[in-house]
Amino acid sequence: MLLPIFLPFLQAQAPMPVAPTPAATAQTYFSQGLQAYQQGRLADLYLAQQAWEKALALWQQQNNRNQEIVTRNFLCLLYDNLGQYPAALDCYQRLLNLTQAEGDRHTEASTLTAMARLQSRLGNYQTALETLQHSRQLWQELGFRTGEVSALNETALVYFNLGDWVPAQQAYEQALAIAEKLGNLALTATIDQNLAQVALESGQIDRAFRLTLRANGQWDALLQQWGDRASLEIKRGKAASLNNLAFLYVQQNQLPLAQRSYQQALQHWQAMGDRPGEASTLNNLGYTYFRQNRLDSAQDYYQQALALRQRIGDRPKEAISRYSLAVLEQKKGNLKLALEQIEQGLTIIEDLRSNLRNQDLRTAFLASKQDYYQLYIDLLMQLHRQQPNHAWDAQALAASERAKARSLLELLATTPGQLTTGIPPELLAQKTALQQHLDHLEEQRLQLFIGNQYQPEKQVALDTEIQTTLEQYRQVLASIRLASPRYGELTQPKTLSLKEIQALLEPDTALLEYALGPQRSYLWVITNRSLQSYELPSAAEIAQSVKTFRDSFLQPTQRLRRYLALEQGQYLRQQVLPFQPSHRRLVIVADGALQYLPFGALISSGATPDVAPRSLVDQYEFVSLPSASVLGQLRQDLARRTPAPLGLAIFADPVFSPEDERLRNTGAAISLALSPDLARSARDSGVLFNRLPYTQTEARQILALLPGQPNLPELGFAANRSRLISQQVSQYRYLHFATHGLLNSENPQLSGLVLSLFNPEGQSINGFLRLYDIFNLQLPAELVVLSACETGLGQEVRGEGLIGLTRGFMYAGAARVVVSLWSVDDQATALLMTQFYQGLLDQKLSPARALQQAQQALKQNPQFASPYYWAGFTLQGEWKN
pLDDT of residue 328: 98
Q: How confident is the model at residue 608 (pLDDT cuts 50, 70, 90)?
A: low
HSE-up (13 A, CA, CB side) for residue 879: 25
Task: Report CA dihedral (477, 481, 483, 489) to the nearest 10 degrees.
Answer: 140
Mean pLDDT of the chain: 82
Q: How many CB atoms lie within 10 A of CB 355?
A: 18
747 has a pLDDT exceeding 80: no
**Regarding predicted confidence, which is higher, 660 or 82?**
660
Query: Would you list the DSSP string of 308-343?
Result: HHHHHT-HHHHHHHHHHHHHHHHHHT-HHHHHHHHH
pLDDT in tens, 312-368: 777 778 989 999 999 999 999 999 999 999 999 998 877 765 544 433 334 334 445
pLDDT of residue 108: 93
Q: Please check whether residue 673 is in contact with residue 689, taking contact to mean a CB–CB distance below 8 angstroms.
A: no
pLDDT of residue 10: 43
Q: How confident is the model at residue 173 (pLDDT cuts 50, 70, 90)?
A: very high
**Regarding predicted confidence, which is higher, 165 or 244?**
244
470 has a pLDDT exceeding 80: no
pLDDT in tens, 114-130: 999 888 766 577 788 88
Q: How confident is the model at residue 797 (pLDDT cuts 50, 70, 90)?
A: very low
Hey, what CATH topology would domain 184-272 get? 1.25.40
Task: Find the DSSP H helices in 143-254.
Answer: 145-161, 165-182, 185-201, 205-226, 232-251
577 has a pLDDT exceeding 90: yes
Give how far Cα 432 sits from Cα of 131, 407, 436, 444, Å: 25, 21, 6, 19
Q: Please check whether residue 419 is in contact with residue 489, taking contact to mean a CB–CB distance below 8 angstroms.
A: no
**Residue 800 one-letter amino acid:** E
Q: How confident is the model at residue 598 (pLDDT cuts 50, 70, 90)?
A: very high
**Regarding predicted confidence, which is higher, 413 or 526?**
526
Per-residue burial over 221-233, b = 16 or more CB atoms within 10 Å of its CB, e = otherwise: ebbeeeeeebeee
Q: Which residues contact 751 (CB under 8 A, 6 or more apart)?
A: 681, 741, 742, 743, 744, 770, 771, 801, 802, 804, 805
Q: How confident is the model at residue 226 (pLDDT cuts 50, 70, 90)?
A: confident
For residue 534, list its beta bridge partners: 523
Q: How many CB atoms lie within 10 A of CB 61?
A: 11
- What is the distance between the alpha carbons of residues 562 and 94, in angstroms, rounded to a whole number? 67
pLDDT in tens, 626-648: 888 888 878 887 887 788 888 89
**Regarding predicted confidence, which is higher, 78 or 396?**
396
481 has a pLDDT exceeding 70: no
Q: Which residues contact 228 (CB under 8 A, 6 or more apart)?
A: none
Q: Do domains 184-272 and 640-877 have the same CATH topology?
A: no
> What are the backbone dihedrals phi and psi of residue 509, each rounded to the nearest 5 degrees, phi first?
-125, 135
pLDDT, mean of residues 777-799: 63
285 has a pLDDT exceeding 80: yes
pLDDT of residue 656: 81
What's the pTM?
0.71
Spatial CA neighbour of 312 closest among 462, 185, 204: 462
742 has a pLDDT exceeding 90: no
- What is the distance between the alpha carbons of residues 771 and 110, in angstroms, rounded to a whole number? 33
pLDDT in tens, 609-621: 555 668 999 999 9
743 has a pLDDT exceeding 90: no
Cβ-defined contacts of 320-326 (< 8 Å, 24+): 320/283, 320/345, 320/364, 320/368, 321/279, 321/283, 322/348, 323/368, 323/371, 323/372, 323/375, 324/283, 324/286, 324/287, 324/290, 325/299, 326/375, 326/379
190 has a pLDDT exceeding 60: yes
Helix, strand, or coil (residue 690):
coil
- What is the distance between the alpha carbons of residues 102 and 319, in angstroms, rounded to a whole number? 52
pLDDT of residue 413: 35
pLDDT of residue 366: 45
pLDDT, mean of residues 501-519: 95
**Residue ranges covered by each domain of the chain:** 1-180, 184-272, 278-492, 498-624, 640-877
The domain made up of 1-180 is a member of CATH 1.25.40.10:
yes
pLDDT of residue 555: 87
**Regarding predicted confidence, which is higher, 781 or 418?**
781
Hey, what CATH topology would domain 640-877 get? Rossmann fold (3.40.50)
Conformation bin of residue 622: beta by default, left when phi > 0, alpha when psi is -120 to 50: beta
Q: Which CATH architecture has domain 278-492?
A: Alpha Horseshoe (1.25)
794 has a pLDDT exceeding 70: no
Check the CA dihedral 528-533-539-544 and report its sign: negative
Strands of 768-770's sheet in order across: 768-770, 752-754, 740-743, 790-791
pLDDT of residue 332: 96
